[in-house]
Each structure stands twice: as C-alpha cells, then as structure tokens.
Amino acid sequence: MAREDFLKVVRGASTQELNEYRQILGRMISASFVIGDKVKFDAGRRGVIAGVITGINQKSMKVKADYGMTWRVAPSLLQKG
C-alpha cells in the first residue's frame, strides 16, 4: 500500500477503528518474537541493552540482559539482533 493510500485510510478512520488497527499491529509485532530470540532495545540514559527473550506476556516481553538483569519491554521497542 502506498503511503498516500495509507494516510487516506488513517484520516478517514474512526477512533475505534484506529484502536483496532493498533491492537492488530501490536499482536503482529508480538508474534514475530519467540522465547530465546536475541534482542536489543534503547533504555534511554542506560543505553542500548542486549539480551534474550525469556518470557512473553500479553503486552510485554521479558528480556534477560546479557549482564543479568531482567527487563519488561513493549514488543514495539525491541529489535532482533
């Protein structure tokens, strides 16, 4: 879908439709990860954290950092690698 077509759909959508699209996209992102995947994410002042997914919840992933600490992170913030 071209960017212009996408923007037309978004601009014409109701709030309820936008919320449904957001939930679907969130599920699609979550489904792209499995336990054991190596991931990284930006933790702001703490820098980029690398680790392994150890658990998958409805709205977050549990990531055990390479240095041992466990983080709960939204799937949309994770990158494989």
| CATH number of the domain to which 51 belongs | 2.30.30.140
What domain count does the chain have? 1
Each residue's pLDDT tens digit, 60-77? 999 999 999 999 999 989
To the question of pTM greater than 0.75 for the whole model, the response is no
Nearest to 62 by CA among 50, 48, 52, 47: 52
Domain that holds residue 64: 3-80
Each residue's pLDDT tens digit, 12-71? 888 898 888 888 888 888 888 999 999 999 999 999 999 999 999 888 999 999 999 999
